[in-house]
């Protein structure tokens, strides 16, 4: 996935995942999840199984946010 070039089915979210006061940019497209800090610094990248639904933010016990997926059979 190239930054700025996405399929029509892409998903984009902004959230402060690590609770540091600075947002992360969450991109999901063509089964690839990328998390970036402002300035395009890559925090995380992971290929996701094709059966996954779109990503959702989930609240974790430590007050931080996570990214969750549901998988279809």
Does 32 have pLDDT greater than 90?
yes
Q: Over range 58-72, report the average pLDDT.
A: 91
Assess if residue 72 is contained within a domain.
Answer: no
Assess if residue 27 is contained within a domain.
Answer: yes
Could you list the residue range(s) of the whole structural domain that residue 32 is in? Answer: 11-67
Closest CA to 28 of 41, 9, 43, 15: 9
Confidence bin at 58 (pLDDT 50/70/90)? very high
Assess if residue 31 is contained within a domain.
Answer: yes
Assess if residue 35 is contained within a domain.
Answer: yes
> How many domains is the chain built from?
1
Closest CA to 55 of 37, 73, 29, 18: 29
The single-letter DSSP state of residue 21 is S
Assess if residue 29 is contained within a domain.
Answer: yes
Q: pTM of the prediction? A: 0.84
Assess if residue 4 is contained within a domain.
Answer: no
């Amino acid at each position: 996935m190239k930054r700025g070039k996405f399929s029509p089915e892409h998903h984009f979210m902004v959230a402060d995942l690590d609770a540091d006061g600075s947002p992360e940019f969450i991109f999901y497209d063509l089964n690839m999840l990328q998390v970036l800090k402002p300035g395009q610094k890559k925090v995380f990248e992971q290929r996701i199984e094709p059966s996954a639904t779109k990503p959702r933010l989930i609240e974790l016990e430590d007050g931080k946010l996570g990214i969750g997926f549901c998988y279809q059979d």
